[in-house]
Structure 1
Amino acid sequence: MCGIVSICYGAENPCLGSEGGELLKRLEYRGYDSTGGAFVGAGGAIRLLKKVGAPSRVVVDLGMDREAGQRFIGQVRWATYGAVTDVNSQPHHVRCKVEMVGAHNGNISNTDALKTWLGERGHRVVSDNDGEMITHVAEEFYAANLEAPGPVLEGVRRGDVPEAAVLLIDAARKADAKGEGSYAAAFCDPRVPGVVAVKSGSSLYAGLGTDAFGEFVVVSSDLTSVLSKTRMLIPLAEGEGLWFTERAYAVFPLAGPLAFSTPRPKRSKLNVRDTGLRAPFRHFMDQEIASSPENLEGILRYYFTDPATEGLFHAFEERLDLCKALLAKVAALHEAVDESGLRDAFRGLRADPLHLELSAWVRPHRAALGPAGPVSDERALMADLLRLEPGAGDDVALYDHLTVWKKQRRVTRHLQDLVHAIRTATGRVFLVASGTSHHASLVAAYFFNNLSGIGVFPVNPGTFRSMYLNTLAPGDLLIGITQSGETKDLVDIFQDVQARIPSLRRIALVNNENSRIPQELVEFYLPILCGPEIAVAATKSFLNQIAVLYVIAASFSLTERKIAAKLRDAADLVTRTLETCGPDVEEAALRLHLEPSLHILGTGLIGLAREGALKIREVVLNHAEGYDAAEFKHGPNTILGKNTLFSIGDLAGLLEGYEAKRDGRPFAGGMEALRTWPELVEAHFSNYPLLFVCPSDERDVRITISQIHTHKIRGADILLIAERNAELAMAVAGRPSGQDRYWSKYLEVPPSSDGNLFVFAASIMLQRLAFRMSVLKMEYLDGLKVVDHGVHPDSPKNVSKSITVD
């Protein structure tokens, strides 16, 4: 939900525009309504470039990539406060009382009140954008501090922070107290060294490094953009701010007494290669769908005991204190600031008595270390160690398995804790989530119904607030599901529940383990382990969410060994679906990508139907709705038969038909032409597409067959995702009498004979269909030279990866 980035060098960088432009492009998934950058030269001159449009276009259009400078503050916007206009774009250059540049991401919810407050104090506010308001508010307090610096500076141990920078920091703190909302921001005074950044309810990451232009510090809303410059991260917590130059930095609290600290930077567990697009893929959505089987292997690795490593891990358990001490030293390797330091620290660790003692202890289990490469969360570090010391493979493998063991211990313990919490809950079990995560919770309810005999309440935050918040009791259980861990609606629910009933247990399933919800708002969390997801539309995270939820539900009725076997079957099913579905998906996508609307009807699988429809709405920008198959006949079926939904292809056909009929006569108006030749419209009434999703259960098959017959005689084209079934195939293929334009397609998934596992195959099929429809429609509209159509599989218009505003 918007994104900011700032980078600071020690001297004029002739390529700062190119650097800043690339950083902005990495934020495009967070915002593309407008793009801007402020360049501050070494002499203090400010050059502001901003315009409506995505960074992939605006950076070049404005020549931003050719700019020079010493400091850069940039922003991509997903519009909330203020229309999509150049004047509402960010950053903002203000100089009512003192010259400053500022930008933010998130929402300042009291923007209107602040605009009035600023006007009363002589500020000239030129936009409706909340980013301008928070910048002016900081300016107001900064000007006051410059007038009377004594009270601010008194008693502050500022270390290397210049006095003027302390005054700007204090102004940012006061602006944060004055503003209401969740955001991150960056401010600078061109006459004062450095940049001030604040993290107030929205993500912000910081790192330091060296490149061809010298030392730098970079901050961004997005971790991958920081990782594109450096692996060395500066720890920054929620409610903190950071002042930085190219080398110096100081962390400070946003509330309470002003004090400074300089936490040691640490090497990121991620590498920018983990977030890049790899050949042969051209789109992140495609790559992330294809990665699903590998991601499911991660769940097997951490949620279950592997017989191949069971003996090794038991040996670790027998020397628990020794393992913990050695792991602490492995973690300390992240503090090495360069490769030379990392190599020396690694060599020292290999000679450490702790290492030698554990290595000797696990020697009988050396075979379990195996020839495979690193697989733990520390695989980026392990890969660096192998590259620096190629002959240290056994030691790196030991550290890698030790890291897996440590996380597996925590994950399995928390899985048991969650199962126990559900089993012993005396009230209701709520699964609260938004968007795709909410659809995963609906699928979870299906799993719980089938496997546990326990009913759960899957609700989105708005429904929870309006229907259940005032009815909560201490015996209820709240489980939040989130990919990003920072979804504002879910954050608010956790905070409200904590304030109302502090004893009510709050737990989360989350992908970003370092985000606000798992770190601050829950008792404990379970990771979904799918790695960074770049495309806006969630795909691999959905598969891993439903996998973890399946594990939880199955824990009430199946043994650990049986659940692990089922999950391996699911991973194999996903792999086989990806290998075989291509031709059928392509045929369906070619047929559907220009259809203005369709319904996906899930027989007993409302969550899956809604998720499939959401994927099509997100990346194809066609209307799609997910419904329960049996419910469609209660009103929505009125769309069947003649309707007024026409595609671009229909429009072209209409024009061609009119041109053939008018025979040189002058144009008399569109409505007159339609009244004169009603057959022009009649020719373009078409059957409405219905895509059924049916598991193999006999009752579900019977219901689906009935619904197919009911709707295709009323003007529906039928598509079906299901396992092979002769009766279903006959129902789909049979052409109704009088329906000469009837079309059908059976999208067959590999057999599982398990309705729960069928969900995994059907999910991947729906994702592939949405992806191919998106690419086909994007290419079609590009061919027509339609500008700003917004169809894109990775960054479609109007949506953002993580919604951090109300």
Structure 2
Amino acid sequence: MVKSIFLKILQKVPDFEIRIPVIGIGCGVLGLAFAKQNIKMGEIAAQLLKSLEYRGYDSTGAIIQDENGNITIRKDVGAPSELVHTLGITKLSGKIFCGQVRWATFGAVTKENSQPHDVKCKIHIYGAHNGNITNANQLKAFLIQEGHKVVSDNDGEILVHTIEHYFDMYLSELAGSVKSRKKEIRKKAMRKAIVKAGKILEGSFAAIVVDPITEMLYAIKSGSSLYVGIGNNESGNDFILASSDLTAVLRHTKILINISEGQFVEYNHKYYQVFAQKDLAIKRKGKPDLIFKAGNKIEVQPVRSKLRVEDTKLNPPFRYFMEQEIYAEVESSQKLITFFKNDNEHGKKIISILTQHNQLSNYQKAVHNILASNRLQEQQKIFYSLISDKSFTNIKNDCLKKIPHLTKLQLYGDSEVSFSKKDFYSDDANIYLDIIEKRLDAKALLLAKILDAISEQNEIKQFNDNVDKFLDIIYNAWTNGASIYTACCGTSFHAAKTGSIFFNEIASVEIIPILPGDFRGQYSKSMRNNDVLIGVSQSGETKDLIDIFNDVESLGKNIKKIAIVNNVNSTLAQEKSDVWLPIKCGPEIAVPATKSYINQITLLYYLAIRTAEMRLKYLDKNSTSKKEIEKLRHQILIRKETLDYIPKLIEETISTTQPQIEYVAEQLFLEPSMHILATKLSAIAQEGALKVRETVLNHTQGGEGAEFKHGPNTILGKNTVFGIWNIESMMKRFNNIIDFVYQEADKDNVVTVEDMEKIIKAISDYIFTQVKPFNLLPHSMRIFNDAMERFDFFGALYRNYPLIYITGPEDRDVRLTISQINTHKIRGTNTFVIAEQNEKLMLNASTSPSEDSDYKWGYIELPKTDDTLLTTFSSIVVLQLLALKMSIKKMKYLNRIKVPCHGVHPDVPKNVSKSITVD
């Protein structure tokens, strides 16, 4: 009887729905124009939309215009992988395509708020954007007042209406009362409208706007990524494609039109012209700035991208880009170290063979001509003329005889032709591989390797020249008692902090790592002549960092600026610095930076060694302390040896720690908060914490272990930080209370359905208010009192707080870590250690603070090096893998219990985005 009563009560309990809001990671926009009608336009549009799904999947939209000017709009709420079929986009044909995938920011997830927007209040245009228009609400009121019909809450519609408004205004001025259909007048009016809108629209965005009359598209870059490519398809149909994502463009063409911040492109299938959207001053080294007024033409020549689509693919057996990129750290760091040392024996032998055959200068000239051309046919003509030359046969035979490994150059992969890239080292390698395309033979493959060797030697020479300039700058600062700062953001900041340890320990030179905002507040007005500013950035386009470089330049002092970047063609490298150095990690697709971080700290490790060598030369000339000189000489020798060991250490770490990482990930993936505490290696703790925050969305803080007792330790014991496991425990405890009430009520046959309802409601209210009920009958009150006395409801919410400890193998660091473990675990923690093998550390981590304690512990044993500096490499690899595994576990768990829009993903976590900027 009571059981049936209980079931009736449960029917009245509302379902729990947990909503986790997802704020936009950037959305994605597309604009494609063909020369003529393409019956496969819908299929192409669908492919492009799906390639941008990682940027947004709240809604999907496409406008396709055919050769007769007819426009078809298809858009709705949902992901492109589904909607391109259900909306019938794949079946459309056309000449022009404007598309967008949305991650909602301004406006709810509704069909009305999906993009593109087709507007015709004053004059007909259509378009879409990605980014945010922060003054959208004010502009909406203005537009409505001016007679526009705004049908959504989406800021993209505001952008299109704003451009429409001024397009109509300028067209009336230029053409009189009759709306002109003359192309040149309409084009001029649209350019003026885009410039005017740029002065009014606030925020960061990229946009595509189309004038259906002129069939002209406009791609606008104003604070968000935008790439434009020009090409033709298999049937010879010329096209130009603009996209928020470089990979989407590279799938169709390698010829890019570089568009910079504050510029827009007017284009159709073949014609293009770049314009300044606002007043621009383009800096040039050793030359006056190029000044462009808003609306001025900017001449931009197309360039061939050095990236291949294959470089951005997810390859089996990997399931996630983050996973693939962590495993790629072995090869990436090895190539970088080989580059440092000019240690590619095959490349050097190839140069020697060319020299012996008196052909080096001819092949160098061919490399120069190939790289100077953007036309594939012209590059192929130069390339195959070398093979046709009779000297190539002798060079080929000599190469195969003296370098047997070259006979093993081969292909891998089933469905697509691609190369074993391990045999190619230069940044130009992809150009040579594109030249031979699928017309593969041993000669072509060998020649590609020969040209790659020449490019590699050119790059090594430039790198060494730049390292020498770097050392001259550091030497000048050091000998003049000046300061050296490394300004950077996010992962690059943690790399710089790690680098400061290297410079301190190896070269005894102080480097001050600092965030751009802190630099502006603490040092920008106190910099002196001979100071140095080093910017560390993956893209070389980080606005916060560029602003700091501009601030330093404006001081007018003798302050040298250095850039450490992955994209050597970036603003930071080419326009803002006196010297730049590459990290050469290649493209990185996953939002969380992994292999780029490893290459950053590998380069900084090398630069610290070279700085130590520079300092040794100084001491040899100026110091009388032989002991100091010998100590430094010994340090340099050791560090050179350990540099070679770094790739092997990363590989061993990945292969030996997986079971331990899996166990710890299982213990932590649903913990709402944790701290990572490092002894002397706080940068590693901070970077590990960032990886967990990014990919798992669990609050994680990293820092120096000794600091935890100065305030942060208040989180230990009872706190109000609750996650899913806490809620699960609470629900189980509530079920225990209900079971108790059920059992007690079963003993008393006078309990009615109404009594049971009142008892359960009274318990629910009392738990959070501590106000006893006044409406219960005596027998119900007895059951209520017994339940509240027997059960500690909130006790079920509390769990031991997880702490991860990182330490190097030095005795002092181990002792400090042991002290911290014992101090904190008696206050309610679970202990997880990342360190090399140490029995004392293991014993203290594994010992429970009390017999009845629900204590958990784990020990991830790093490969043995007995070297704290090498621990910076192995420990961060463990933390990257730990974050990856935690992210996958949590993502699958949340998907299984159907939590909507949770945003957990190792490659594309919510609220953050990454675009490929290496070229």
TM-score (norm 2): 0.78
Instruction: Decide whether the 8 Å contact of 1:508 with 1:518 is kept in 2.
Output: yes
Change (3 A) 1:61 1:452: farther
Alignment-mate amino acid for residue 193 of structure 1:
E
Out of 299, 317, 328, the residue aligned to residue 368 of structure 2 is 328
Alignment-mate amino acid for residue 188 of structure 1:
V
Out of 582, 585, 593, the residue aligned to residue 661 of structure 2 is 585
Instruction: Decide whether the 8 Å contact of 1:78 with 1:798 is kept in 2.
Output: no
Greater Cα shift, 366-375 or 535-544 = 366-375
Q: Is the aligned partner of 1:189 residue 2:211?
A: yes
Instruction: Within 5 Å, give how 1:610-689 maps onto structure 2.
Output: 610-663=686-739, 664=742, 665-666=756-757, 667-668=760-761, 669-672=763-766, 676=788, 678-689=791-802
Alpha-carbon deviations, 1:583-628, whole Å to 9, x = none?
A: 1111111111111111111111111111111111111111111121
- Pick the structure with greater CA Rg: 2
Q: Is the aligned partner of 1:475 residue 2:475?
A: no
Change (3 A) 1:138 1:570: same
Change (3 A) 1:243 1:253: same
Map of 2:123 onto structure 1:
98
Map of 1:38 onto structure 2:
63
Q: Is the aligned partner of 1:420 residue 2:472?
A: yes
Alignment-mate amino acid for residue 225 of structure 2:
S
Out of 567, 574, 584, the residue aligned to residue 643 of structure 2 is 567
Change (3 A) 1:62 1:470: farther
Out of 587, 600, 606, the residue aligned to residue 545 of structure 1 is 600
Alignment-mate amino acid for residue 577 of structure 1:
T
Structure 2 residue matching 1:207: 3-state secondary structure = strand
Instruction: Decide whether the 8 Å contact of 1:17 with 1:68 is kept in 2.
Output: yes
Out of 155, 164, 169, the residue aligned to residue 186 of structure 2 is 164
Greater Cα shift, 35-44 or 695-704 = 35-44
Residue 738 of structure 1 and its aligned partner are, at CA, apart by 4.1
Alpha-carbon deviations, 1:99-154, whole Å to 9, x = none?
A: 21233344556667766765675545566655444433432332233223379xxx
Q: Is the aligned partner of 1:273 residue 2:310?
A: yes
Change (3 A) 1:454 1:532: same
Instruction: Within 5 Å, give how 1:125-524 maps onto structure 2.
Output: 131-149=156-174, 163-176=185-198, 179=201, 183-211=205-233, 214-254=237-277, 255-256=292-293, 265-306=302-343, 308=345, 309-310=347-348, 325-332=365-372, 334-336=374-376, 343-350=380-387, 367=403, 370-371=406-407, 373-386=423-436, 387-388=438-439, 390=441, 391-425=443-477, 426=480, 427-501=482-556, 503-524=558-579
Alpha-carbon separation, structure 2, partners of 1:61 and 1:599: 46
Alignment-mate amino acid for residue 645 of structure 1:
V
Alpha-carbon separation, structure 2, partners of 1:229 and 1:369: 34
Alpha-carbon separation, structure 2, partners of 1:596 and 1:736: 23
Change (3 A) 1:581 1:131: same
Change (3 A) 1:68 1:357: closer
Alpha-carbon separation, structure 2, partners of 1:43 and 1:65: 20
Alpha-carbon separation, structure 1, partners of 2:726 and 2:344: 60
Residue 63 of structure 1 and its aligned partner are, at CA, apart by 5.4
Change (3 A) 1:268 1:487: same
Change (3 A) 1:301 1:36: farther
Alignment-mate amino acid for residue 536 of structure 2:
I
TM-score (norm 1): 0.89
Percent of matched pairs sharing the same residue: 39
Alpha-carbon separation, structure 1, partners of 2:322 and 2:793: 39
Q: How many residues are aligned here?
A: 792
Residue 267 of structure 1 and its aligned partner are, at CA, apart by 3.5
Map of 1:798 onto structure 2:
911
Out of 642, 663, 681, the residue aligned to residue 605 of structure 1 is 681
Alpha-carbon separation, structure 2, partners of 1:567 and 1:268: 32
Map of 1:534 onto structure 2:
589
Structure 2 residue matching 1:475: 3-state secondary structure = coil
Alpha-carbon deviations, 1:620-643, whole Å to 9, x = none?
A: 111111121111111111111222
Alignment-mate amino acid for residue 293 of structure 1:
V
Greater Cα shift, 454-463 or 501-510 = 501-510
Residue 548 of structure 1 and its aligned partner are, at CA, apart by 1.3
Residue 563 of structure 1 and its aligned partner are, at CA, apart by 5.2
Instruction: Decide whether the 8 Å contact of 2:195 with 2:294 is kept in 1.
Output: no
Change (3 A) 1:661 1:136: closer
Instruction: Decide whether the 8 Å contact of 1:612 with 1:626 is kept in 2.
Output: yes
Change (3 A) 1:565 1:42: farther
Change (3 A) 1:564 1:219: farther
Alpha-carbon deviations, 1:201-233, whole Å to 9, x = none?
A: 543222233336743221112211111222233
Structure 2 residue matching 1:574: 3-state secondary structure = helix
Residue 62 of structure 1 and its aligned partner are, at CA, apart by 5.3
Residue 177 of structure 1 and its aligned partner are, at CA, apart by 5.0
Alpha-carbon separation, structure 2, partners of 1:411 and 1:343: 28
Structure 2 residue matching 1:72: 3-state secondary structure = strand
Alignment-mate amino acid for residue 631 of structure 1:
E
Alpha-carbon deviations, 1:180-200, whole Å to 9, x = none?
A: 665432211112223111334
Alpha-carbon separation, structure 2, partners of 1:91 and 1:765: 44
Instruction: Decide whether the 8 Å contact of 1:291 with 1:540 is kept in 2.
Output: yes
Map of 1:154 onto structure 2:
none
Greater Cα shift, 241-250 or 397-406 = 241-250
Out of 18, 26, 35, the residue aligned to residue 10 of structure 1 is 35
Structure 2 residue matching 1:600: 3-state secondary structure = strand
Alignment-mate amino acid for residue 670 of structure 1:
S
Greater Cα shift, 111-120 or 227-236 = 111-120
Instruction: Decide whether the 8 Å contact of 1:31 with 1:800 is kept in 2.
Output: no
Alpha-carbon separation, structure 1, partners of 2:84 and 2:399: 56
Residue 32 of structure 1 and its aligned partner are, at CA, apart by 5.2
Alpha-carbon separation, structure 2, partners of 1:100 and 1:670: 58
Alpha-carbon deviations, 1:533-557, whole Å to 9, x = none?
A: 1111111111111111222222222
Alpha-carbon deviations, 1:16-74, whole Å to 9, x = none?
A: 34433432343344455655433333333444455566555665675555554432223
Alignment-mate amino acid for residue 444 of structure 1:
G
Alpha-carbon separation, structure 2, partners of 1:31 and 1:76: 5
Instruction: Decide whether the 8 Å contact of 2:183 with 2:214 is kept in 1.
Output: no
Change (3 A) 1:437 1:348: same
Structure 1 residue matching 2:875: 3-state secondary structure = helix
Instruction: Decide whether the 8 Å contact of 2:325 with 2:588 is kept in 1.
Output: yes
Q: Which runs of 5+ in 1 are unaligned?
A: 152-159
Alignment-mate amino acid for residue 272 of structure 2:
Y
Alpha-carbon deviations, 1:318-365, whole Å to 9, x = none?
A: 99976653321121464125xxx6543422344579x979969x9899
Out of 838, 841, 851, the residue aligned to residue 728 of structure 1 is 841
Change (3 A) 1:290 1:364: closer
